[in-house]
Structure 1
Amino acid sequence: MSRSPDPSGLAARQAALRLLDAVLRRGEPVDQAAPNVLRNAGSGEDRALALAITGEVLRWLADLDALIDSATAQALPDDAKVRTVLRMMLAQALRLGTPPHAVLATGLALLTGGPRRLAHGVFSTSLKREAALPAAPTLPPAVAARWEAAWPRRVPAIAAMLADPPPLDITLRDPSQTERWAEALGGRSLMAGHVRIARSGSVQKMAGFERGEWWVQDLAASLPARLLGPGEGRRALDLCAAPGGKTMQLAAAGWQVTALDKSSRRAERLRDNLSRSNLSAQVVIADALEWAPDDRFDAILIDAPCSATGTCRRHPDVLHRIGSRQIEELAALQATLLDRAAGWLAAGGRLVYAVCSLEPAEGEDRARAFTQLAPDPALAGELPEGIVPTPEGWLRTDPAMLGEAGGLDGFFAARWRA
């Protein structure tokens, strides 16, 4: 069997292989590993393809493995390179519509010797059998166990929404322009200040981006800041603020915002976003566990560090990186942040706690355990049509809610008043 020295598109497959190794072997987020991995991955199209292959493998990992195992006489080790390459090959053929000859040329070029022959045989057998993936991805066992305990009636619908990346949501700097931007961008609005559009092309090249008329932000992620209402010149603190979507929301709503983040790199991105949107905030680089304000705030938004399992449609790597130990550690940090921030709130002020997580330990359990302030329940009129507060007055979303409109991230938010 002849081997092309450098098949077209090989750089993208090499990058995808490295990204999958970073996630599955080292437990790194794709977003963390991607800048270094993609630096030499070729053109913009190559980099996009590498990310697409990586995402599809991570969405369908259990189901791809089932196909591989059905075509091999002996089980391959989970961390075997040939297994990962086969996952990539099948994901391209079954999810991305890549022609089989291109899959073979680029996939086999990643292997040598026996593994190369094995991959060719398994892939060819799968095609002959007309292998297919199920309608919905199979969740990793640990994830399925957690979510079935927490949301037994929701898990099948959540899993079904993981089959594809979500649409693109944007938040408008000026909510009064919602109808105009929905028309200009060919999208639809699910509430004032929001537009949902199909993913296509570069976000930076879309109308209004350079002028800062809007920024990318999942609909669910925009709801916590909305729970603080109009600022009317009052002082607000945005904890763990970068990359700045919620800071920009608060500034656009008339708050004098102090945006705190401990990462100088992420804070620089926040400043860039503020500059582009022509909004202002005081950016502070500090650790919220050590920092203390000189004065109290009328509103505090804690978008706490969390497992981010609610973002699994956009970031399927969380399904394979996050386990019970990380969730427990994050829940302890979240409790500490809540307790510290409560003392920084002025009389009559509001505090909103939020996490982009589907884990009750980070959401509902944290809210139940927090008793320093008086509950201030969310109202149905503050949320998109079709999303209602829980009986406790909390916000809880999952990817299958608003499913006919394209769904949204899994989020939890609770509000209190001093």
Structure 2
Amino acid sequence: MSCNFPRSDDVPGLPARRAALRLLDAVLRRGEPLELAIHGASQGIADRADRALVHAIAAEVLRRLPDLDALIDGATRQPLPEDAKARMVLRIALVQALVLGTPAHAAIATALPLVDGGPRKLVHGVFGTVTRAAPVLPDSPTLPEGVAERWAKQWGDAMAKDAARAYAVRPPVDLSLRDPAQTAHWATLLGGESLAPGHVRLPDHATVTDLAGFAEGAWWVQDLAAAIPARLMGAGSGRAVLDLCAAPGGKTMQLAAAGWNVTAVDQSARRLQRLTENLARTGLAAQVVTADLRQWQPVESADAVLLDAPCSATGIYRRHPDVLHRIGSRQIAELADLQAQLLNRAAHWVRPGGVLVYATCSLERAEGEDQAVRFLAAHPDFALDAPTPDELPRDVAASAQGWVRTLPGTLADRGGTDGFFIVRFFRT
């Protein structure tokens, strides 16, 4: 491999790689969520394909980080510092060559200018040593060490292995239907599989906006597990429900379609804009409120309350690999405190005889099972209301305790689900 380094301004595709480097720095050093940081990192890149490449490089580096680092460390006499720019540039180059299918010469040509003024010969040499060995990354990405240990402690070694296997599989695209009576129609038309009334799992990853039914708002994208909380509310028949932390609106639309009079509350005006757009597309209605639940309260209590609480989002790690690098025990504890506060407030807004559904897209007991136990101990006027089999998707069952927990092994033979905890309480 030649060491005649190209001039930076002669390298096609370099802006996308610079943006990927900025994006990874934002996630790994500053702890910013990938989906929020990408806008700032991609400033000046107008082409959609280039922006998609920025996201793909960063996401795959995060997904394969331990495996990439093992290759880098095996090719250096002394380990590079964890935060060394040379290490990050090597990750970017290697993930293109080993995962994204970029020719090795192109991957290194766009990597070397990223270390202008730095150890270019080191980066070039390590990349060449690794790629000449023709390495094959493991089928199941290695989970970050702290994550694997934490999950194994909570759920057992088998769960951690399931999580690693699920990490390598592209998540399916699930649709929630505005009219569950049309389930067979849409499953046939879209060539999908239904695992519950009102649900279709697509067979591939076609552009959803091009599919039949999107423009007329017949369905919206929503993971099967994420649809369970609203399913447990049943038919609304005009009754009042509070959908708390509602954006971007999947559960709001489910509730409105089921006949509830919905008040959707979220503190993010930007995310509520997306909810409003989704309501307009589907022709469904809800009252939308921008507010912090720690200060807001409704004018009157409701027949039902759904709290999809802010959480670590470790349950959606397949779609958002950054969470496994940003979230640790401290953040989980802080979020659990917030969830307890919101759950206690929400309890006061449920009328006697009404229901409260609490959910998190988390694989942490502190944000799920522990919250349910603590809530019942502190609120003797609430009882756990276990779902019946016909309220749940096929092959998803309530636990012996009466709540619903989806793990990486849930429906693994059909593409899996996001990790969720869902519990329904009845106010006596």
TM-score normalised according to structure 1 size: 0.97
Q: Which residue of 2 is the match for residue 339 of structure 1?
A: 344
SS at match of 1:154: helix
| Alpha-carbon distance between aligned partners in 2 of 1:335 and 1:114, rounded to the nearest angstrom | 49
| Paired amino acid for 1:3 | P
| Alpha-carbon distance between aligned partners in 1 of 2:10 and 2:262, rounded to the nearest angstrom | 52
Deviations 1:36-79 (A, max 9, x none): 22342241111111111111111110111000000111111111
- Residues 406 and 413 of structure 1, relative CA distance in 2, 3 Å threshold: same
- Counterpart check, 1:140 vs 2:172: no
Deviation at 1:381? Answer: 2.0
Q: Percent identity?
A: 58
- Counterpart check, 1:349 vs 2:358: no
- 298-307 vs 109-118, which deviates more? 109-118
Deviation at 1:113? Answer: 4.6
- Residues 53 and 201 of structure 1, relative CA distance in 2, 3 Å threshold: farther
| Paired amino acid for 2:235 | P
**Which residue, out of 19, 26, 30, partners 2:23?**
19
SS at match of 1:333: helix
Q: Which residue of 1 is the match for residue 44 of structure 2?
A: 40
SS at match of 2:367: coil
Deviation at 1:317? Answer: 0.3
| Alpha-carbon distance between aligned partners in 1 of 2:186 and 2:119, rounded to the nearest angstrom | 52
SS at match of 1:361: helix
Q: Which residue of 2 is the match for residue 396 of structure 1?
A: 405
Following superposition of structure 1 onto structure 2, how do residues 5-404 of structure 1 map, counting pairs within 5 Å? 5-152=9-156, 153-198=158-203, 200=205, 202-371=207-376, 372=379, 373-404=382-413
SS at match of 1:335: helix
Deviations 1:344-394 (A, max 9, x none): 111211110000000000000000011221110122222122211110110
SS at match of 1:51: helix
Deviation at 1:169? Answer: 1.5
Deviations 1:296-333 (A, max 9, x none): 11111000000000000000000000011111111111
Contact 2:243 2:307 (C-alpha < 8 Å) held by counterparts: yes
SS at match of 1:98: coil
| Paired amino acid for 1:395 | V
Contact 1:11 1:42 (C-alpha < 8 Å) held by counterparts: no
| Alpha-carbon distance between aligned partners in 2 of 1:102 and 1:141, rounded to the nearest angstrom | 32
Deviations 1:201-224 (A, max 9, x none): 543333222221111111111111
Deviations 1:205-244 (A, max 9, x none): 3322222111111111111110111111111000011111
Contact 1:238 1:259 (C-alpha < 8 Å) held by counterparts: yes
- Residues 198 and 119 of structure 1, relative CA distance in 2, 3 Å threshold: farther
Contact 2:93 2:108 (C-alpha < 8 Å) held by counterparts: yes
- Residues 311 and 236 of structure 1, relative CA distance in 2, 3 Å threshold: same
TM-score normalised according to structure 2 size: 0.94
SS at match of 1:180: helix
Unaligned residue ranges in structure 1 (runs of 5+): none
- Residues 379 and 28 of structure 1, relative CA distance in 2, 3 Å threshold: same
| Alpha-carbon distance between aligned partners in 1 of 2:194 and 2:98, rounded to the nearest angstrom | 32
Q: Which residue of 2 is the match for residue 416 of structure 1?
A: 425
| Alpha-carbon distance between aligned partners in 2 of 1:90 and 1:409, rounded to the nearest angstrom | 28
